[in-house]
Amino acid sequence: MTDVIFPRIALIGLGLIAGSMSLAARRAGVVEQVVGTARSPETRAIAAEIGLCDVVVDTAAEAVKDADLVVLAVPVGAMGAVAAEIGPHLKPGATVTDVGSVKRAVIDTVTPHIPDGVHFVAGHPLAGTEHSGPRSGFAELFDNRWCLLIPPADGSGAEPAAKLQSLWEAMGANVEMMDADHHDQVLAVTSHVPHLIAYTMVGVADDLGRVTDSEVINFSAAGFRDFTRIAASDPTMWRDVFLNNKDATLEILGRFTEELFALQRAIRTGEGNVLHDYFTRTRAIRRGIVQAGQDTDAPDFGRGVQGEKKE
């Protein structure tokens, strides 16, 4: 039988990630009670109705009372305000973490509100779907996915970080410790810029007057359909990500633009060997992702009706 790691967990925000954490932690038997809250009364009502948490309360202050672990699962731009709200109510010895896609800005915003005797270990589970809301969570979301943890740079959070690692591993994830700035650069490459490009491609299709909306929707070949799937992600979350990871995103966008110009030149001048070599190299990276178990080589990427949530 798995030992309890955190007897009481408080989830601030009840969307895809928090809901999946509740279901995964209870599946693993590593918590005794999960308390959740959300800003929206409708979200709280749905969470209570479907039993997403053991208890659903109205405020963040109430949720964190006596909690051993507090998870901030709100948009990056709201982290500071939530931390300020809960700070006075945190139990001595508690651990606070987050699930945001940006780490340096979150650490700088949240840390000033964490009282002495409470530990903040920033985190980021690399798992998700384009779905959001309390009904979108499922216990298997983190299975064989990565969760990156960023312990305090002064080494004060080694023990809380180890406990948090044990929780994530019990929920099915692989865990790696990482520096905050390095995290933000890595995620700019692997997540942030790809999302921005997907949003841009949908915008281009929308602006191109010679292609109607119905043609874009009805005749979406696999490339447009699969590539732009992530453009359905939560707009508030992604607005905050780009505003809070500005430097790394702009750096990677600059490099992307240079590569794009090189490909444009190769197409314009008919340099087929350049295109073939480039596509061969990038194809190998895609195969590496599949071999690492982070995706499937099925024609629909395993994202049919039944597999849609398995990203």
**pLDDT tens profile 73-124:** 999 999 999 999 999 999 999 999 999 999 999 999 999 999 999 999 999 9
Least confident of 75-84, 142-151, 176-185, 230-239: 230-239
pTM, two decimal places: 0.81
Q: Which of 18-32, 52-66, 210-224, 282-296 has the lowest mean pLDDT?
A: 210-224
Please name the residues in contact with 176: beta carbons below 8 A apart, sequence gap of 6 or more: 146, 147, 148, 149
Task: Report whether pLDDT(139) > 70.
Answer: yes
pLDDT category at 283 given cuts 50, 70, 90 is confident
**Three-state SS at 134:** coil
d(CA 134, CA 37): 11
The pLDDT of residue 276 is above 70: yes
Least confident stretch, 7-21, 64-78, 214-228: 214-228
Q: Which residue type, as a one-letter code, is found at position 95?
A: T
The whole-number pLDDT of residue 297 equals 65
Averaged pLDDT of the chain: 88
Q: Which residue's structure tokens are 């700035």?
A: 181
Residue 170 has what pLDDT?
98
Q: What is d(CA 247, CA 268) in angstroms, rounded to the nearest whole number?
A: 32
pLDDT in tens, 191-209: 888 888 888 877 777 666 5
Q: For residue 57, what are the CA distances in angstroms to 47, 155, 268?
A: 10, 34, 60
CA distance linking residue 178 with residue 310, whole number of Å: 25
Question: Which domains are seen in the chain, by residue range?
Answer: 6-178 (3.40.50.720), 182-269 (1.10.3660.10)
